Amino acid sequence: MIRGVDEGERLEMLAAWLLAFLWAAPLLYAAWAAFHPMDFVSRFDLRAPLTLDNFRSAWKVAPFARYFLNTFLLVCMTLAGQLIVCTLAAYCFARFEFPGKNVAFLLVLVQIMIMPDVLIVQNYLTTSRLGLVDTILGIGLPYMGSAFGIFLLRQAFKQVPQELEDAARVEGAGWLSILLKVYVPLTRPTYLAYGLVSVSYHWNNFLWPVVITNSTTTRPLTVGLSIFGAPESGVNFSVISAGTLLAVSPLLIAFLLFQRQFVQSFMRSGIK
């Protein structure tokens, strides 16, 4: 702000806070419902007794521990696959000249527009032929060749001065050690950005996992939550709020602790 705070700006700040409150309200509300007995689900009384019963029953009726484990495995496996596959491909696009490069890159870009999320029908058939239906690998595999990751890392690698690579080469380093000792360390922020975006994406992804998983042993949190939230005989809203909060808490806490890194990662991932 250059000028002093005038009336208009004060009004604007009020609006900004109001919007922020509106944006936070659903989550605050879920917390209210989760920590109070069912009678207070839609009655706001500050003297309402606090309780953890809803969390207890949520934890009891659905195998959340297993869902957490599944999601954790899924996210780690997917990210690891993506990092390896995309690093190699990005390095190739950034520093190699070879016939067919432009066509290959164009084919990569196709996936920026058409992600595996919309190809569930055919991908289901493919995964089924591979015998990977209802496996955690089956959930992650279609996403491991990530156009977005290749694109992002390629941009970053291109910023690395060619002289550094040449110097390493003079010292007799092969391409793998150049990649690991020069490129990867110099582009750490990009890796962090991509990692955070990927983790939040796959933590939250639903449509493909719901198609491809059949059982508790593979279901990630989102799919578990959808079953938990839409029972046959009707919902108990307090318990559902509790379950929902349980499911989002790891990512939410991570975000609140490392807000700056999250925001900057998402920022970086959007700059082309």
Partner 1 sequence: MAAALRKAMSFNSKTARWVNAWLLLSPAAVLMVAFTHFPIVGGFFASFFSTARPGRPSRFVGVENYTSMLNDPVFWQVLGNNFFYALGTIPLSVSLALLMAVWVNGRFRGRAVVRAAYFTPTILPMIAVANIWLFFYTPQIGLLDKIRSLFGLASHSWLGDPGTALACLMVLAVWKDAGFFMIFYLAALQAIPPELEEAAVIEGAGRWYFFRRITVPLLMPTTLFVVVNATIHSFKLVDHIFILTKGGPDNASSLLLYYIYEVAFSFWDTAYASTLTVVLLAILGALAVGQFAYLEKRVHYR
Partner 2 sequence: MKQKWMRVLGGLVLAVVLGATAASAAVELNMYYPVAVGGPITKIIDDMIAEFEKTHPAIKVKAVYAGNYDDTRVKALAALKANQPVQLSVLFSIDLFELMDQDVIVPFDDLATSAEDKQWLSSFYPALMQNSKAKGKIWGIPFQRSTIVMYHNKEAFKEAGLDPNKPPATWKEMAEMGQKLTKKDASGNVTRWGVLIPSTGYPYWMFQAFCIQNGRELMNQDGNQTYFDRPEVVEALQYWRDLAAKYKVMPEGTVEWGTLRQKFLEGATAIMWHTTGNLTAVREGAKFDFGVSMLPANKRRGSPTGGGNFYIFKKASAEERQASLQFIKFMTSPEMTARWSMATGYVATSPAAYKTATLEKYIADFPAAAVARDQFEYSVAELSVHENARVKKFLDDAIQSVLTGAKSPQDALSGAQQQAERVLKSYR
From residue 83, alpha-carbon distances to 107, 118, 140, 224, 243 in Å are 19, 23, 13, 27, 32
From residue 264, alpha-carbon distances to 56, 114, 185 in Å are 36, 26, 18
For residue 98, state whether it binds partner 1 (rule: CB under 8 A): yes
Instruction: Please give the Cα distance from 188 to 140 (Å, whole number).
Output: 23
Residues 239-268 that bind partner 1 (CB under 8 A): 240-241, 243-244, 247-248, 251-252, 255-256, 259, 262-263, 266-268
Q: Identify whether the C-beta of residue 208 lies closer than 8 Å to the C-beta of residue 6.
A: no
* Binding-site partner at residue 216 among partner 1, partner 2, none, CB < 5 to 8 Å by type: partner 2
The upper half-sphere exposure of residue 134, i.e. CA atoms within 13 Å in the direction of its Cβ, equals 4
For residue 135, state whether it binds partner 2 (rule: CB under 8 A): yes
Instruction: Please give the Cα distance from 153 to 151 (Å, whole number).
Output: 6
* Binding-site partner at residue 128 among partner 1, partner 2, none, CB < 5 to 8 Å by type: partner 2
In the three-class reduction of DSSP (H, G, I as helix; E, B as strand; rest coil), residue 147 is classed as helix
* Binding-site partner at residue 68 among partner 2, partner 1, none, CB < 5 to 8 Å by type: none
Q: Which range of residues in 16-24, 48-56, 58-66, 158-166 is near partner 1 by CB under 8 A? A: 16-24
Q: Which C-beta is closer to partner 1: that of 97 or that of 232?
A: 97
Residues 31-60 that bind partner 2 (CB under 8 A): 38, 60
234 backbone dihedrals φ, ψ, rounded to 5°: 125, 160
Least separation in angstroms between CB 186 and partner 1: 18
Give 177's contacts (C-beta < 8 A, 6+ positions apart): 168
Residues 101-160 that bind partner 1 (CB under 8 A): 101, 104, 107-108, 110-111, 113-126, 141-145, 147, 150
Q: Which C-beta is closer to partner 1: that of 19 or that of 52?
A: 19
For residue 96, state whether it binds partner 1 (rule: CB under 8 A): yes
Instruction: Please give the Cα distance from 30 to 34 (Å, whole number).
Output: 6
Interface residues with partner 2 (CB under 8 A) are 38, 60-62, 128, 131, 133-135, 214-218, 226-237, 239-240
